[in-house]
Structure formats: C-alpha cells, structure tokens
Structure 1
Amino acid sequence: MAALDTINNISFFDTLNEQQKEQIASISLVNKYPKDSILYYESETSKNLLFLVSGLLKIFKLDKFENEIFLYHIYNNSMISELSSIEQNDIYCFSNAEFIEDSEVLSINFEKFHELFLSKNILTIELMEILLKKTHQLQCIVNRELVFDATAKVAFMINQDLEMFNKLKRQEVSFMLHIQPETLSRVLKKLSRNGSIEIDNSEVKIKDKTALEYVFKGVGV
C-alpha cells in the first residue's frame, strides 16, 4: 500500500488537507513485517514515528530471569511509538515489540514531522490525546500487575478486550495475566455464577457489564 493511501486510512491524520497528507507521505515509508518478527527491543532508539496500519503487535518486557511480562496489544490504526518528549528527535523504546500477525507499519521521519507539523501546532492536540490514552493504559497495567487479584485481572481483560480474550487459548490468557490455568478456570466459573458473563461453546459473552466492572472498579483507587 502506498504511503498516501495508508495515511488516508489512519484516523490520526483525518484533520489534514490533501496537501498536508502528501507532505506526510513524502517523509514516510510503509514496511511489511511477518508474524513473530521483532519491531524493536527495549532500550533501542528510533528516528521514526510508527503507526500500525494492519496486523497485531504485542508489547512486552523481560524480567531479570528473561521471563516475558506481557503489557498490552496494539491494534491497527494506532500509534506504536512511546514518546517521552516531542522536542527530541530520538524516540526511546521502553519495551519490546513483537508482531503476532503479518503486519504493516507506517514509519514517519520524526524530525521532519516536527518541523512541518508539530512546530506549527498542527496535529499537536491529536498527538496529546494519544499520549494521554497511553498514560491511562500504563495506569491500568500498574493496577493489573500490582493491585488486582486474579478475579479482577480476568474481569478487566474481558471488559477491555473481549475479542482478544476469546481469540486466544485459555493457556495463553493465563500466561498474559500471570495466573495459573486452573485459576483462570475457577474465575470464569465464578463470574458466570454471579451473572457477569456467560460461556457458550468456550466463547465468553458479557451478560451484565455493570456487574463485571464492579469486580475491578475501585480496586487500588
């Protein structure tokens, strides 16, 4: 897919006119990545602002024993880059990123992007909105990893990412949430008994969203 066509399909650029989109395209590349390939490793730096055009990306860290700690997924039509400053040209990678589907990534020269757009207050609000959402996402990760018990972890994932929960094998979900498969099974039965969810041929459906949210809302606040 050509860079301009790609830009037209990413909502972040919707407020731009055609000339501005062509400017973005002139400083961009679209790259394809196969499933299981690595986009970047923790502590690397990049000169480019990255957006996931299609596919699925897993963001994770490794502990001192090289055990994987799952953080979150990035879906298509989303910014990948984790910006700590809009004034520096180098973009620091705070985690590892691995493709779990064949994917396409839009790569934009960040120095030129800053010069042509951010320095003129174009797309600044849109970028801040994305960064604020990423900050909220980080707060959710802190709760999930440090505050939530197993029941809250499972309820939170079902509420926030039901499609992915059903797409993954139960063992994969357990691994992501750092709980035992037997614990996941018990939690699902518990949530089913209290009427929060129902399970039909192994597919989880939300039956009472308010009751489901009650399981994790207010925990750690």
Structure 2
Amino acid sequence: MILIETIKKIDFFNTLNEEQLNIIASFSNVSKYESKSILFYESDIKNHLLFLVDGLIKIYKVDKFGNEIFLYHIYKNSMISELSSMKSNDIYCFSNAEFVENSTILSVNFEKLQEYFLSKNILTTELMEILLDKTHQLQCIVNRELVFDATAKVAFMLNQDLEMFNKLKRQEVSFMLHIQPETLSRVLKRLSRDEIISIDNGEVIIENQNELICIFKGVGV
C-alpha cells in the first residue's frame, strides 16, 4: 500500500487506474538516500526508470581537469532518467547525480513498463512530454553556457528558479552559473538600481518581471 501511495505522488502515473497502479507496483521499488550520496555516475548503465519522489538532486559533469560543471537541479515529482532509445532496455547515464537533500527515489523496471504499458500506447504521451521538457532544458543549458552573458544568466535563473536562488548562498549561485561572485554582486546591484528587483535581508524579490525577461529573451532563445 505504501508503494502504491508513493507511485501516486508522481504525476506521470496520474492517468492510471487502481489495477494499472498495482501492475506498476509489481515491478517497482522505493529507496531512500541521504544528502551528498551519489545516485549514479556518468557512463553508468541502468535498466530502471528513476523518479524523484521527494528531495533534491544536482546533475553535473566533471571536466578533464577534475572541475565540477553544474548542469541543473531535479526537483520532486520528476523523472530523473535520460532516455536515448526506446529500442533498448539499457538506460545510459550521461552525467553524475548527487543528492542535495535526503531524498526518496521510485525505481520502475523499464522493460516491464514497455511490455505492459508503452507497447499498448499507455503512458506514451506522458513520456513524450517529459522527454520534450528535457530537450528544452538542454537548450536552456546551451544558452546559459554558450550564449548568455553574466546579466542574462542571472536574470534567467531569477525568472526560472527564484526559490532556489534565494535558498543558496551567493557563492553557490556563482558556481552554478559559472561566473565570479563579484560579477554576481555587480549584476544584482545593477538590477536593483534599475528597479527590476529589490533585495530584502539578502532575499531577492522580482519587482518588474517583464523587464527581467527582456534581459534574456531573444538572446539565443
């Protein structure tokens, strides 16, 4: 029963009836992970679809010098796995996944999911939506790393993920955006001076969202 209730927390399975949920539960399991532990490393191969039920995950790569390159966060009620093919039961990991908070993971056997659901055109639309969202997320990463200047990077994160921006220390935000802390400070002061944002006890408040969006809109998007 606990497994069924956990599955129901994931929107991906919202269209299933009780019988179908029981089938999903028959080839699924739930695991708990502590903060700072690793879910998988780049080049690992999995045979289960992974969903984040609760918690927070950091996705990153490591360059040839051993430097960590932040890519994005995964929030609760999200699919973690990156699919590259529907013809293989192997799910390749293209980056590293580390837990930022104590988290709960739902693991679903991909071969069984295809056999009982995807092959019958059940959950295919939901899966396609997730994969399209991940494609858009990749485009955002490309823009952030290759197109946006420092101001556009900051404006984009404030617009897309204000809660996370305020939750993290400024040095952590700088690291994520691959800019210097001094640069982040200058950008925030400029945005505040232009009355696009205000800062109250260190917390950023968006005052003019349209102006904020204009900073990065049309720049590689």
TM-score calculated relative to the size of structure 1: 0.98
Contact 1:153–1:177 (CA under 8 A) maintained in structure 2: yes
Tell me the residue number matched to 1:79: 79
1:148 Cα deviation from its structure 2 partner = 0.5
Tell me the residue number matched to 2:204: 204
1:86 Cα deviation from its structure 2 partner = 1.8
Distance in 2 (CA, whole Å) between partners of 1:126 and 1:59 is: 22
Deviation string, structure 1 residues 127-159 (Cα, Å, up to 9, x no partner):
000000000000000000011000000000010
Map 1:141-152 to 2 at 5 A: 141-152=141-152
Tell me the residue number matched to 1:159: 159
Deviation string, structure 1 residues 191-221 (Cα, Å, up to 9, x no partner):
1112211111100011111000001011124
Tell me the residue number matched to 1:39: 39
Distance in 2 (CA, whole Å) between partners of 1:175 and 1:84 is: 29
1:121 Cα deviation from its structure 2 partner = 0.3
What amino acid is the match of 1:48? H
What amino acid is the match of 2:171? Q
Tell me the residue number matched to 1:92: 92
Tell me the residue number matched to 1:17: 17
1:2 Cα deviation from its structure 2 partner = 2.5
Tell me the residue number matched to 2:54: 54
Distance in 1 (CA, whole Å) between partners of 2:87 and 2:128 is: 13
1:10 Cα deviation from its structure 2 partner = 1.1
Contact 1:28–1:107 (CA under 8 A) maintained in structure 2: yes
Runs of 4+ in 1 over 3 A off after TM superposition: none
Map 1:106-185 to 2 at 5 A: 106-185=106-185
Secondary structure in structure 2 of the residue aligned to 1:155:
helix
What amino acid is the match of 1:99? F
Secondary structure in structure 2 of the residue aligned to 1:51:
strand
Tell me the residue number matched to 2:69: 69
Tell me the residue number matched to 2:27: 27
What amino acid is the match of 1:46? K
> Where does the alignment leave 5 or more consecutive residues of structure 1 unmatched?
none
Secondary structure in structure 1 of the residue aligned to 2:114:
helix
Distance in 1 (CA, whole Å) between partners of 2:195 and 2:133 is: 30
Percent of matched pairs sharing the same residue: 73
Contact 1:12–1:126 (CA under 8 A) maintained in structure 2: yes
Secondary structure in structure 2 of the residue aligned to 1:119:
helix
Confirm whether residue 214 of structure 1 aligns to residue 185 of structure 2: no
1:3 Cα deviation from its structure 2 partner = 1.7
Secondary structure in structure 2 of the residue aligned to 1:205:
strand
Distance in 2 (CA, whole Å) between partners of 1:176 and 1:132 is: 23
Secondary structure in structure 1 of the residue aligned to 2:59:
strand
Contact 1:2–1:30 (CA under 8 A) maintained in structure 2: no
Distance in 2 (CA, whole Å) between partners of 1:2 and 1:57 is: 23
Secondary structure in structure 2 of the residue aligned to 1:174:
helix
1:78 Cα deviation from its structure 2 partner = 0.3
Distance in 2 (CA, whole Å) between partners of 1:167 and 1:100 is: 12
TM-score calculated relative to the size of structure 2: 0.98
